[in-house]
A and B are shown apart, each in its own frame.
Chain A
């Protein structure tokens, strides 16, 4: 049985159809990346799957329970870390985790023990008795994640868990997500960062304007929109000769600016020595050579006709 099963899920706010009949399946133990720009319907979908918002159409099941008819059972099976880490700045980290443990029905002694373990796990033991208002963005996200894990949920929903974080904090969250997944937790992760989906997700769903426009493994999706190629910039007057040499090595792709040679390389980096050798033998001076692989952004452009908003905010790790 899938950990998450969604059929024709819809949500309208008056005339605005935020989610327009989406279907998806997430298997047990999978990391599912839900990728899309701001306002695409990611958060609305998560809110429906976590029982915080009633759907206006379709159905959804999480951990084998219907999100409307068996909302309580769904809530007992999931952990949720929503966008903008919903934390009380006046509470201490320890108070928050203990409160979460109580909300999840853990007996007091077990709740205290679990809080200590989780604070240690997310490296917040030293700051556990400080008020959350004084935490950095990364600390808040880690605390939020720890709170979501207090009852060892089967399915974990992370809504844009790294938005606005610095690269180091982002990497820490990624490592934590991978560890959780290694322990068997199914993770449903929304993000507007292509790299995040690429790095973490086993499967990716791309949502745009309330509809899923593509779904599959990152590699499958990328291979659908093109193959790796090298992009060559050669010395003045050598362009035609370089094109001739490269044409003997493989298929040439149309150049965007007419000043570069684009050569498809089926084996990616392994093909580069062959290309360099051929150009060298032909006496062509290469000014720059870059291996270009299709990205999820290319997939997004191919499927929607526009680029993913917010990607410019992404900080590479």
Chain B
């Protein structure tokens, strides 16, 4: 079997399976939508006056500021859930079915990532809708909303690649699940939930170099003030870097899995 069309069909079919799997298993969809939505509601309701702190960047509302963080959280947990689901596939032998088929093995990983990216897209639309319903303005208008959605979707692909690589390397759902707290640490050490300007050291410096800060600012900017080319490019560069890292780790983990069986 060869041909781009056939491979594209395989990726689409595996992506569709990945999405169905997520929606049919509540423990996978819950961290992606329910948990970040609750956190958004609690933070917005409880810490809304934070925008009045000296040094807080100018925003219309705390909800408007938080939308990018919630989308990031949802996207990262989608990547983590994708990794868990992939590891479950390995544990129950389902990936053997895929590996024993005459398809390029990267298509198997791409199929999983396509599903994760679709979940990222769903999450970004979900949070933008929530923001709009509860009165947040999207300052960049429709192009700004589309840019934020694109960046989150691409980030899901990038983070999903890391999750897939860890799943392939470890073959254990509990190992991937164990990364859940790490996802939150990485997020809290970025500007996802709190402006970098108001952080204290060493969190401030870590957040300054955290690639997820570049992504979150790239997503936040079109929401709170409008599209900014520099921040968009920085976000894209961070996403590309993580994608390349994920691909390299996945390729190495795939080879490892074939060696160890």
Whether A and B are associated in the same complex: the answer reads yes
With A53-B261, A75-B100, A102-B9 as contacts: A90 and B21 at CB distance below 8 Å: yes
Q: Are A51 and B100 in contact (CB under 8 A)?
A: yes
Residue on B with the closest CB to A47? B261
A26 to B169, CA, bound (A): 35
Which residues of the partner chain B approach A80 to less than 8 Å between Cβ atoms? 96-97, 100
Which residues of the partner chain B approach A98 to less than 8 Å between Cβ atoms? 13
| CB of A284 within 8 Å of the partner chain | no
Which residues of the partner chain A approach B260 to less than 8 Å between Cβ atoms? 13
Q: Which of B6, B17, B258 contacts A88 (CB 8 A)?
A: B17
Whole-angstrom distance from the CB of A312 to the nearest CB of chain B? 26
Q: Are B258 and A53 in contact (CB under 8 A)?
A: yes
Residue with the greatest number of chain A CB neighbours at <10 A, chosen from B13, B89, B258: B13
Q: Are B21 and A88 in contact (CB under 8 A)?
A: yes
Q: Are B20 and A105 in contact (CB under 8 A)?
A: no
| CB of B103 within 8 Å of the partner chain | yes
| CB of B209 within 8 Å of the partner chain | no
Interface of chain B residues 61 through 116 with chain A (CB within 8 A): 89, 92-94, 96-103
Convert A80-102 into 0s and 1s, putting 1 for each residue whose CB lies closer than 8 angstroms to a CB of B: 10111011101100010011101
Interface size on B (CB < 8 Å)? Answer: 27
The B contact surface, by secondary structure, is: helix
Residue on B with the closest CB to A103? B101
Interface size on A (CB < 8 Å)? Answer: 33
Whole-angstrom distance from the CB of B87 to the nearest CB of chain A? 14
- List the 4 closest pairs (A to B, CB-CB), nearest first: A86-B93, A105-B1, A103-B101, A76-B102
Q: 23 interchain pairs (CB within 8 A)?
A: A47-B261, A52-B99, A52-B261, A54-B259, A80-B97, A82-B97, A82-B100, A83-B93, A87-B92, A88-B17, A88-B89, A90-B20, A90-B25, A91-B20, A95-B17, A95-B20, A98-B13, A99-B14, A99-B17, A100-B101, A103-B10, A103-B101, A105-B1
A interface with B by C-beta (< 8 Å): 13, 44, 47, 50-54, 72-73, 75-76, 78, 80, 82-84, 86-88, 90-91, 95, 98-100, 102-105, 108, 131, 147
B interface with A by C-beta (< 8 Å): 1, 6, 9-10, 13-14, 17, 20-21, 24-25, 89, 92-94, 96-103, 258-261
